[in-house]
Structures are given as C-alpha cells and as structure tokens.
Structure 1
Amino acid sequence: MVYQQLTRRVLFKLGGGDPEVAHHSTMAGLARLAKVRPAVATLRRVFGTRKTTTVFGVDFPGVVGLAAGMDKDGHALRAWPALGFGFVEVGTVTAHPQPGNPKPRLFRLTDSEAIINRMGFNNAGADALASRLRATGPIGVPLGISIGKSKVTPVEDAVEDYRHSLRALREFGDYFAINVSSPNTPGLRGLQDREALDALVGELRAESPKPLLVKIAPDLTDDAIAEVLQVCTDHGVDGIIATNTTLSRDGLAPADATTGAEAGGLSGRPLAKRARDVVAFVHKESGLPVIGVGGIFTADDALRMLDAGASLVQLYTGFIYQGPPLVRRINRAVNAR
C-alpha cells in the first residue's frame, strides 16, 4: 500500500505526468541503488523469497522475471534480483543503435491499469549492451536477452540483423528471446509468418547453443500460433514467450477512451485473459516451456498463469502499477504451494 499511496503517486507526477520521464527517473535511481552493496543485501533479505526451478536447462531461483522493455540497455541489472526477481530480460536490443519513435510514445491508462507504448526499440545497440554486460559481470540470476530487427534494416535482411545481435551477445545471455511480435517496428510482425520465421529461426539456431525462445503476439489466431509452434518444433526452439503487447483495445475503461485511441501496443490488465489463453494453447499444442506475460497484477494472476501452463512468468505493467511488493507476494504464493 505504501508503494501505491506514496511512491507511485510521486512517480506518476514526474515530468508533469509524462510516463517516459518517470521511467527514466526510476531507472536512474535503480542504477544508483545497484552500486550500494549494503542496500542491495538488505533488499534481498526483504524480497528474496524464492523457489528454484529448472526450465530449458537453466536454473531459475524464482519463477518471477522482469520482462523486456523495462531495462533495455541493462543499466540497473544488479537491482532487479534484490527486488525479488528470479531472472531478468534486457532489450529488446537491435544490431544498430536507434532512438526509437518520436515522442510522446508512452501513455498510461490508469483507470484500466494499462499502458500503451510505441517506443520502437529505442536502445544503444547490441555492441553497447555487450560492453555493459562485460563490465557488469554475473548478476546472480539468469539473464535473458531479447533481440529484434533494426528499423533501418529492410525486412529481407532481417536474418543478418538478428544474427549480428546474437553474435555480439551470445556469451552473456542465459537465453535469447527472438522478438518478432512488437507492433511498433514496420514489418516486424510479418516475421511471424511461417516462411519468414522458418528462415530466421533456422539461421539463429545454428549460431548458438544457448536456449532460444520466440516471443509471439496475442493477436495471432490459433491457426497462426499453430504454424509458429510447428516452425519452433522443427528447429528445436527451446520455448515460447506469450505474449507481447496487443493492438486490441478491448476491456478499456470508458475514461481511457481518448488515450486508448493512441497508436501502439497495449499491455496491462486488459490483456490478462488473452495472454493466459495463448499460454494454455501453446502448452497444450506443443508442450514447449512457456514464459507467461501479460496482465499479471496479483499473486492469483500469476498462479493462474502458471496453472494455464506457464513455467515462468514476467512482469512489466503490473510492476509499474503495483511495485516491488507484487514480486514478493507472487514469490510467497508460489513458495506456499
């Protein structure tokens, strides 16, 4: 309650209520916190209730992970495990540094407990991330790295673009997420089509022995998801991340109608049921390990995602609205099972 009544209220007012200002301020604070070892140790004692599980050959000291998009360039890596996260996914990172889409590009829909973003993979590039990870060293929990296509790279050259990022970062990641499902890079979602995905996954699978996962959109039909799963099975992909943001605006509160008309991908509570349904479908149809993400705001939400077939869960929007106590509540609920 302290987070929601005080901390969140302050953060949501930063920069005149600009969500991107709040995000950068939070990241800067966490980056400073990560350098203070006594503070990190204290936080670990408070938030670090965990239950070890092994998924696609990687040992995770907890089932709750930080989703890609929060710490794209890995500025606050040592802070996240101290807040109770059992793994951290950085990125999405691209072969070329890029500023992302024009601002404003991040919008809160507070009545719906949702966010719309059209960030456009703003990041410093794969080579810069590799340098930072080399300097940071191990963070004590598994590190996932989400890779995507640079905006300047034509879709027909996507394979080489992804390959550059994977080669630059393969020594640092415990697993790699192939992001072909963001709605904010032109042509990217077309890489989920069977022929394009077959070429991409086949080449990346040959590049690295590290676990590879494919992140899919919640807007795909069951038939389209089945085709994605067939490609993943054919190439020995290790798992699926379900799901990315949605283009749907179903479930928004009436007060959010104007902001809801903004272009971009929506995340948060309105996505919960669809994300859970996709997880259940993937689990039933393929048996591949699934990282479930989308609309997790309570411990019960996380348990329902796990019951649907997820092996692990990730937080993004729920963490923004609920803060670190959400991670602790989920960890305790999982430990109590």
Structure 2
Amino acid sequence: MIYTLATQALHILPPEDAHTLTVLLLKAGLGPVSRLSTPELAIEVAFDGGILRFPNCIGLAAGFDKNADVPVAMTRAGFGFAECGTVTPLPQGGNPKPRLFRLTEDQAVINRMGFNNKGLEVFSRHLEPVNARRKKPVMGLNIGANKDAADRMADYVTGLKRLWGLGSYFTINISSPNTPGLRALQGKSHLDDLLGQIAETRAALVKVSGVNYPIFLKIAPDLDDSEIEDTVASTLAHKLDGLIVSNTTLSRDGLISAHASESGGMSGAPLFELSTRALRVAYAASGGKLVLIGAGGVSSGAQAYAKIRAGASLVQLYSALVYKGPRLADEVRRDLVSCLKADGFRSVSEAVGAG
C-alpha cells in the first residue's frame, strides 16, 4: 500500500523531478525488498565465453539508472538483472527541458532526454563498490556516443574498454531517436563498420583479461523486416551475442493523450505490439542463434510471456513502473509463473520461441 501511495504522490511532480527523487529514495535504501522465490524463471545464457546465469528473466531496462546509482536496489526489488546507462564517454546535459512527458491516458511515456549522464568516470566509480560485494547483481552496461563526438564509433570502443570487467554484459545502443544521426548507425554499411570495431576491441580485451562478456545490440522497433534481417546477419557475422528488441519508437499511432505530439521516443503500452512484431522477425531471422531480450510495453506477466513465446530469453521493462510502482517486478514474475504452469512449462527456457 505504501508504495502505491508513493507512486501516486510522485505524479504530483513533473516527470523528470519525480524520477530524480525516486533514484534518491532508492539510494537511501527506501525501496522495496522482494521475498518472492521464482526458480522457474531462472535462466542461463550461453555465449562464447561461457554461461551467464540470471536469477530470474525479468530485468530493468536502460534509462532508469543512467549513472549506475541503484543496480543493487533494483535487483533487491525483484528484478533478475538491471541494465545501467546509457553512458557516454564524456558527461553531457542532454536536451533542453522539459524532455520527459507522461501520457497517462495511453499508459505511455515520451522522452527526448538525449543521453543525459555524468560520463564514464563517474559511472565506473559507482560500479566499483557494487563489484566488491560478495554477491553481485547481474548488471548490463549500456554504452552510447556523445552528441558532439567527432567519431561516434570510437565512443563505443572507448566505453567498452573503460567498463570491461565492471558488468555482466554490454549493450551497444545505436537506436535512441534523441541523438541526431545516431540511428543512421543501424544502416548496413555503418553497422558492419561499428560491429567490426566492437569485435576487434572485444578480442583484444579478452586476450589481455582472459574474460569475455556477452555483447548485445539494441535496435529500434521502427525497422522494417528486411532491415531487421540485415541487422541479425551483421550481428551474427561479427559474433555479437544477441539483440535487445527494442528501443523507443517514433510512431504515434493511436495515442490520445495531450502530450502525444511531443517529439522524442515513445515507450509504454502502445509500443508492445510493434516491438513484439520486431522480436518475432529477429527470432525467425536468427534461427535461435542469438540471445534476444524482449523490451517494449511490458506491464504484466502475460505480456512478458508473449515476449518469451515470440523468442525472448529475457524480458525488460521500465515505463510501466511510472504507473504501477516499484512492486511491479514481483507482480510480473508471479503472473509469468502462472502463465508458464497453465501451458505445462516447467521453466522459462522451455517456453522461449514456443509461438
């Protein structure tokens, strides 16, 4: 009850102020603590360097914890993993405010934040005490490029080098609509160049450190089928481990809220069908050779289950927290277990790609 009331109270504040306060409260230890056990949702992801184990398949998407302030608090709240970032090499303030909008009638959010973050050095310092813990959370580190970078591809290489050894997996984010020109990196020639540099950097880091980590590419839901197929082919060719499907969308189809015309990326409930369609295409194109993380519009166990049946091994959510509060991870997990049992699956891994 207290978290429901707190969520309602936060809606009195402007969205970005509410988010800032939420992170501060979590840093102060005022977040929920999950007591829910869901062994059916544990999953192992195999990659070239070994196996990454997730205590449950429901994760926090990037964007909530931009500066790696609260990964422990969010996994304590019931998430099986937390993806921090997007982080850029240099600090940047992002786009002018206001840049975050609630679309309450649509259960959606529009943001044009513009990779606002404190930069790699602060991000890294925040991760050091987390990595010193006896029991570390599973953490994804989401890497981006500075808006004014002379060589954006080099920014991804810089991020990978600086953060190597500080997380559980990496995400290359080239699909945010809020950094002008960034999505152009999803074009085949640019993508092959970028992924080639990432693969070369990874090989060098593995040689020096003796450890490897999964690397995911985060893509837009606005790509057509052939573009998704090309992306899958490039990802396989450069031996990345998977895709996150998907980022926010530029689509505004069917929105009725007052802020629907604001520019930026839209997330939340209306993104579910679009992102799930893209997920199905990616799964079919990859033939099960890539690990897929399904993101976009998830606010219930049934929707998480739909992502899994469409080919996702793992599922992320974020925008639904704005409306449903910090207990959502447990709600989704509990409902997802019921969905699995109703169809006779003993574990989430059995249901991946079941249609």
Relative to the length of structure 1, the TM-score reads 0.91
Aligned to 1:58: 52
Give secondary structure in 2 for the equivalent of 1:266. Answer: strand
- After TM superposition, the structure 1 stretch with the greater mean CA deviation from structure 2, 123-132 or 326-335, is 326-335
**Which residue, 242, 250, 254 being the options, matches 2:245?**
242
Deviation of residue 82 (structure 1)? 1.2
Residue aligning to 2:352 = none
Letter in 1 for 2:162: A
Partner Cα distance (1:227, 1:284) in 2: 12
Tell me by how many angstroms 1:2 deviates: 6.2
The amino acid that maps onto 2:314 is L
Helix, strand or coil: the match of 2:281? helix
Per-residue Cα deviation, 1:191-211 (whole angstroms, up to 9, x for no partner): 001111111111112222321
Match of 1:73 among 64, 67, 71: 67
**2:324 match:** 322
173, 176, 194: which one aligns with 1:179: 173
> What SS does the aligned partner of 2:82 have?
strand
- Asked if the contact 1:148–1:180 (Cα under 8 Å) also holds between the matched residues in 2, the reply is yes
Structure (1/2) with the larger helix percentage: 1
**Matching residue of 2:353:** none
Within-5 A mapping of 1:73-152: 73-137=67-131, 138=133, 140-152=136-148
3-state DSSP of counterpart to 2:294: strand
Question: For 1:183-332, what aligned pairs fall within 5 Å after superposition?
Answer: 183-208=177-202, 209-253=212-256, 256=257, 258-286=258-286, 287=288, 288-332=290-334
Long gaps (5+) in structure 2: 203-211, 341-355
Deviation at 1:55, TM superposition (A): 1.6
User: 1:10 aligns to what?
Assistant: 9
Q: Which moved more, 1:213-222 or 1:137-146?
A: 137-146
> 2:28 is paired with a residue of what secondary structure?
helix
The amino acid of 2:29's aligned partner reads L
What per-residue deviation string (whole Å, max 9, x for no partner) do you get for residues 233-287 of structure 1?
A: 100110000000000001212xx1x411111000000000011111111111102
Q: Give the counterpart letter for 2:251 in structure 1.
A: S
User: Quick check: 2:299–2:332 contact (8 Å CA) kept in 1?
Assistant: no
Q: CA deviation at 1:319?
A: 1.8
Amino acid paired to 1:53? I
Map Cα deviations across residues 112-167 of structure 1 (whole Å, 9 max, x no partner). Answer: 0000000000011112211111133246321100101111113xx12211111111
Following the alignment from structure 2 to structure 1, what is the Cα–Cα distance between the partners of residues 269 and 3? Answer: 18
Q: Aligned partners of 2:17, 2:61: CA distance in 1, in Å? A: 20
Q: How far has the Cα of 1:232 moved from its partner? A: 0.4
Provide the rounded CA distance (Å) in 2 between the counterparts of 1:250 and 1:170: 40
Gaps of at least 5 residues in structure 1 are none
Deviation of the 1:325 alpha carbon: 2.9
Q: TM-score, normalised by structure 2?
A: 0.87
Equivalent position SS for 1:330: helix
- Distance in 2 (alpha carbons) for counterparts of 1:207 and 1:215: 18
> Which amino acid letter does the alignment assign opposite residue 20 of structure 2?
H
User: Given the alignment of the two structures, is residue 334 of structure 1 paired with residue 336 of structure 2, yes or no?
Assistant: yes
The 3-state SS of whatever aligns with 1:280 is helix
Letter in 1 for 2:28: R
Deviates more, 1:157-166 or 1:91-100: 157-166
SS of alignment partner, residue 11 of structure 2: helix
Deviations 1:287-335 (A, max 9, x none): 2111001011111111111111110000110122112332112212333
Percent of aligned positions that are identical: 43
Matched AA of 1:259? H
Distance 1:113 1:319 in 2: 10
Give yes or no for contact 1:48–1:83 (8 Å, CA) kept in 2.
no
